[in-house]
Amino acid sequence: MRIAIGSDHAGFELKGMLAAFIREMGHEVTDVGTHDTQPVDYPDFAKAVGMAVLEGQAERGVLICGSGVGASVAANKLVGIRAGLCHDTYSAHQGVEHDDMNVVVVGSRVIGVELAKELVGAFLRAKFTGEERHMRRLNKVRALEAHSPSLQG
pLDDT (tens digit per residue) in 105-147: 999 999 999 999 999 999 999 999 999 999 999 999 999 999 8
Residue 86 falls in the annotated catalytic set: no
Distance CA 7, CA 68 (A): 10
pLDDT value at residue 150: 60
User: 7 and 34 in contact (C-beta within 8 Å)?
Assistant: yes
Distance CA 76, CA 47 (A): 9
Distance CA 84, CA 96 (A): 9
pLDDT digits (tens, 9 = 90+) for 58-86: 999 999 999 999 999 999 999 999 999 99
Q: Which of 131, 132, 72 is nearest to 102 (CA)?
A: 72
Q: In what order do the strands lie in the sheet with 83-85?
A: 28-31, 2-7, 60-65, 103-107, 83-85
pLDDT digits (tens, 9 = 90+) for 8-55: 999 999 999 999 999 999 999 999 999 999 999 999 999 999 999 999
Stretch (H or E) spanning 40: none
pLDDT value at residue 148: 73
Catalytic residue among 27, 65, 86, 93: 65
Q: Which of 108, 86, 111, 110 is nearest to 99 (CA)?
A: 86
> pTM here?
0.95
